[in-house]
Amino acid sequence: MKTPLFDLSGRTALITGGGRGLGKDIAEIFAAYGANIAVCSRRIDNCQETVEALQSSYPIQAKAYACDISSEENVNDTVEAVLSDFGRVDILVNNSGATWGEKAEKMPLEAWRKVLDVNVTGTFLMSKAVGNQMIRNGYGKIINIGSVAGLKAEPANVLNAIGYSTSKAAVHHFTKDLARKWAEYGVTVNAIAPGFFETKMTKYVLEQSGDAIRQNNPMKKLGDPKSLQGTALFLASDASDFITGQVIAVDGGSSL
């Protein structure tokens, strides 16, 4: 009997920022399709809640870890712990992110550095730490969470966060470059660029400009968890084995 294209049974996924929002949604769909789940973030309490919910709903292993992905020591220790607990990591989702809303001419340097450290450096550090064992195993799926903000420049009244948009554009190119470098090792690297979804990170923007954002979207709506879950499952599964270095916009057409 052939293995279904989207079956993740026996595989282990590590999801950064998996305690809430889009990371939690991704953890849930992976678990529903059989993957064991490791989630990490700076706030382990959120991750623990995710783990408990997954374990009560699906017959999988799950564990939470505290990790500051902008710290190389923290990242390496966390990945070592996950490998010790699960044996391997087959799927990595670099979802942890930070933002800072401010006009470019007033953006504090420390805010710029914080956003870049989490969104870009954190993605690099986690990919490097997990990627080394993927290379040894000859298999791996890396999914980076970018943003439509890294594909197009939004007007200031919609999004005024130049550090965030710059960092996500960097994540998109990092995805392409790493995909080129690691294709020979059996590791695929792709990115999802979400449009506006209702999350804690977008709460303020949507409170201020939600109606305009909906009106400007070709589908006249915001993203829903199911939309992102389907794309993430596709990229984590055998269905995407011949796809690497791609940035898939999940945005209702807002980047067109």
Instruction: Decide if 163 is inside a domain.
Output: yes
Instruction: Decide if 1 is inside a domain.
Output: no
The residue range of the domain holding 61 is 12-250
Catalytic machinery residues: 164
pLDDT digits (tens, 9 = 90+) for 83-138: 999 999 999 999 999 999 899 999 999 999 999 999 999 999 999 999 999 999 99
**pLDDT in the model for residue 159:** 80
Instruction: Decide if 100 is inside a domain.
Output: yes
Instruction: Decide if 75 is inside a domain.
Output: yes
Cα torsion 55, 233, 170, 22: sign:
negative
Confidence check: pLDDT of 1 > 50: no
State the amino acid at position 76 in one-letter form.
Answer: N
Instruction: Decide if 4 is inside a domain.
Output: no
Instruction: Decide if 146 is inside a domain.
Output: yes
Confidence check: pLDDT of 42 > 70: yes
pLDDT digits (tens, 9 = 90+) for 209-243: 666 677 778 888 887 878 899 999 999 999 999 99
Contact 82, 67 (CB under 8 A): no
Q: Of the spans 29-38, 95-104, 191-200, which averages the highest pLDDT?
A: 29-38
Closest to 43 in 3D by CA, of 16, 25, 62, 22? 16
Q: What's the predicted TM-score (pTM) here?
A: 0.93
Instruction: Decide if 101 is inside a domain.
Output: yes
Give how many domains the chain has, as a whole number.
1
Q: How far apart are CA 42 and CA 16, in angstroms?
A: 9
**pLDDT in the model for residue 226:** 83
Q: Residue 129: helix, strand or coil by DSSP?
A: helix
Instruction: Decide if 36 is inside a domain.
Output: yes
Question: Which tokens in the block code for residue 134?
Answer: 């993927």
Mean per-residue pLDDT over the chain, rounded: 92
Mean pLDDT of 27-45: 96
CATH number, domain at 124? 3.40.50.720
